[in-house]
Amino acid sequence: MAIKQNASRQELIVAHLTINHNDPVIGTAENAIDLPGNAVVVGGDIVVTTPWNNVTTATLTLGDAASANRYANAVDLKTAARTALTVTGFTHALAESLKALVAQAGTAPTAGSARVTLQYYVIGRSAFTQD
């Protein structure tokens, strides 16, 4: 029996979100990016564009309902840097929101911004076919 080729093609879908120091409810995993059913995350990153300026710690964790840190665990928000997401090929069988959790200690920051970018495709979706 031969492999059955799939002529369906689709572009990667890119979602992004900016989280500012005064946006989140600290210590609460909040809805961040909605994914459709059958979405497979294949890339992305968290870029701290303006470091949080509170005294001790500030971190961002990104996950879903089943795994709070599926894509990122305690990324340092106090340093301007890029952190690649951890991608495993996990399929989100049902539509769901990814959750962002900002945790911090010390005085409240007066500055800070991070951009979350997510690349994914959807199993079964076809935008065009390859001849």
Q: How confident is the model at residue 26 (pLDDT cuts 50, 70, 90)?
A: confident
4 in any annotated domain? no
Q: Which domain holds residue 36?
A: 10-124
75-90: average pLDDT: 98
Contact (Cβ atoms closer than 8 angstroms) between residue 100 and residue 60:
yes
CATH code for position 33: 2.60.120
Q: Does 3 fall in a domain?
A: no
Tokens matching residue 110: 């007066």
* Inside any domain, residue 111: yes
Name the domain count of the chain.
1
What one-character-per-residue DSSP string does 41-80 give?
EEEEEEEEEE----SSEEEEEEE-SS-TTSSEEEEESSS-
b/e per residue, 116-131, with b = 16+ CB within 10 A?
A: bbbbbbbeeeeeeeee
The per-residue pLDDT for range 100-129, each reduced to its tens digit, is: 999 999 999 999 999 999 999 999 999 999
> In this predicted structure, what is the pLDDT of residue 30?
97
Q: 19: which 2 tokens?
A: 């989280």
Q: What is the pTM of this model?
A: 0.93
